[in-house]
Amino acid sequence: MREERRLVWRVLRQWKGIADGGRFPRRDEIDPWLRGQDGANCLLIAVGWSVEVSQTVVVGVNLAAALCPTDTLAGLLLSRAQRVVSARRGLMVEGSAALRGVNILYRAALLPISGNGPTIDHVLGAANYRSLRDDEPPMRPGIVGMQWI
């Protein structure tokens, strides 16, 4: 089988390999992804009862910038974590954001993680992105497309 080059699809395939077995992956099952090469573009969100008390607990080096504002990539992903928990399924999002002061286009997957089976206690985020080219018009930061997994 050919190696998948796109990070989001590669992480999604690994997550689905476990989730299709009838349960959400546990954090110890995704820790190798966070420590490996893909971890640079992943983050892990510990979810609380609301987005205000949810927090990012692991952030890959390529996403580690300005974690709070919602116009940053990490902020946009954090703002969607509660939807993933409520729906009990993964979410694919695409759009525009800022990262280190640069406007980017991104695609990301937000995937539920459970330590005890039924309770979702973390959301894994995996994102790839690119800078807007000089010939592309600026976009307002936000989510352009969403698809439930």
90-134 pLDDT tens trace = 999 999 887 777 888 999 999 999 988 789 999 999 999 999 988
Residues 107, 9: contact at Cβ < 8 Å? no
The model's pTM: 0.86
46-65 pLDDT tens trace = 998 766 778 888 888 887 76
Q: Is 120 domain-assigned?
A: yes
Euclidean distance between CA atoms 12 and 9, whole angstroms: 5
Residues 48, 55: contact at Cβ < 8 Å? yes
Q: How many Cα atoms sit within 13 Å of 131 on the Cβ side?
A: 7
Q: Is 2 domain-assigned?
A: no
Which CATH number does the domain housing residue 75 bear?
A: 3.30.450
Euclidean distance between CA atoms 101 and 73, whole angstroms: 11
How many domains are there within the chain?
Answer: 1
